[in-house]
Amino acid sequence: MQQFVFLFRPGTRKLSPEEITRRGAEIRAWAIEWTNKGYKFDPRALGQETYRITAEGESNVPEDKPVSNLLFLEAGSFDEAVKIAKTHPGARYGTEIEVRAWTRPGAPPAK
């Protein structure tokens, strides 16, 4: 199994309170469905406060589309991870989902 992360960025669409509630329920059901298929998720929500340090300087100005949540998972391949991401309900509510493979720093790349 390979390790992947979904990076979630909020879209520009403003959701109503009802849509936020419905999205949360759909995401819970989605996670249960995939967990029942044998996948394990390790979600993380990121705080609003941000500070960036770059070669050009430092800033506490947030990005235009900051990453808001991370979801770590194991899947058999990149294509399999993408297949799972495509079923995530957040996309129907305007959330952008990026799929990336990851390894620990200094670890050899996955084959």
The structural domains of the chain, with segments of one domain joined by +, span 2-101
The pLDDT of residue 104 is 81
pLDDT band at 60 (very low <50, low <70, confident <90, very high): confident
The mean of the pLDDT values for the chain is: 91
Fold of 2-101: Alpha-Beta Plaits (3.30.70)
Residue 77 has pLDDT above 90, yes or no: yes
**Confidence category of residue 83, pLDDT binned at 50, 70, 90:** very high
Mean pLDDT of 73-97: 96
pLDDT band at 61 (very low <50, low <70, confident <90, very high): low
In this structure, the number of other CB atoms found within 10 A of the CB of residue 52 comes to: 12
